[in-house]
Amino acid sequence: MSGWKAKRFWTEAKAVAVDGGWQIELDGRLVRSPAKTPVIVPTQAVAVAIAAEWNAQTGEVRPETMPVTRFANSALDKVMPQFEEVCDMLAAYGGSDLLCYRADAPQELQQRQAEAWDPILDWLHGATGVRLAVTKGVMPIAQASDGQAVLRGHVGRLTAFEIAAFHDLVTISGSLAIALAVSERHLAAEQAWLKSRVDEVWQEEQWGPDEEATEIADLKKQAFLTAAQILADLRTDS
């Protein structure tokens, strides 16, 4: 017996202003998360984006085409109940940041990494006072515990909704530094994505593109750019 799949049953989805933010309604009925939490988001821009995803559904509801809805569900059902734990997990990326691990060789790749990554680490130092140590190879390098505490403090200042978007910036790029640079508007999302891909682009140039890897990279890029847009929309006055 095939699994039951939800089908469109509403005529119109729209964003509605309420106390504490904006809710999404389907023909006047409140949208709820999988945990039955009312989906109320902080800004009109995010609510309008969610409503647009619901309005775009035809026939069977396809959650994979609704990234902003999934983000809101994650913020409500996952981040809010365990906010400190999620912040700890994301801040821990500062201890093994992509930008801190450089190639032993060749020199051209080393140069590309330095040109792409050193300015971000310099910015991070100027913005937070934390100077992340850099090494060659893949052997773990210890980062100063006081610096890690400072970075954890910066992550903890984000709201639960911001953390839900920030999560993808960190985990997709593998870099807390890149995510913070995007969050603080130091780097545009497209630029940040390219800087996170230095090693992969190098490999493609040496060995040629791999169709499956390219497909996966395209999906990751879209998720990264969507997360950055959500973060911007969360900071847009309604």
Q: What is the CATH number of domain 82-234?
A: 1.10.3580.10
Domains of the chain, residue spans: 82-234
Q: How far apart are CA 132 and CA 190, in angstroms?
A: 24
The pTM score is 0.94
**From the centroid of its chain, how far is CA 192?**
12
Q: Please report, in tens digits, the pLDDT of each residue of the chain (238 residues total).
A: 345 468 889 999 999 999 999 999 999 999 999 999 999 999 999 999 999 999 999 989 999 999 999 999 999 999 999 999 999 999 999 999 999 999 999 999 999 999 999 999 999 999 999 999 999 988 999 999 999 999 999 999 999 999 999 999 999 999 999 999 999 999 999 999 999 999 999 999 999 989 999 999 999 999 999 999 999 999 986 4
Q: How far apart are CA 24 and CA 54, in angstroms?
A: 9
Q: Which residues contact 227 (CB under 8 A, 6 or more apart)?
A: 71, 165, 166, 167, 168, 169, 172
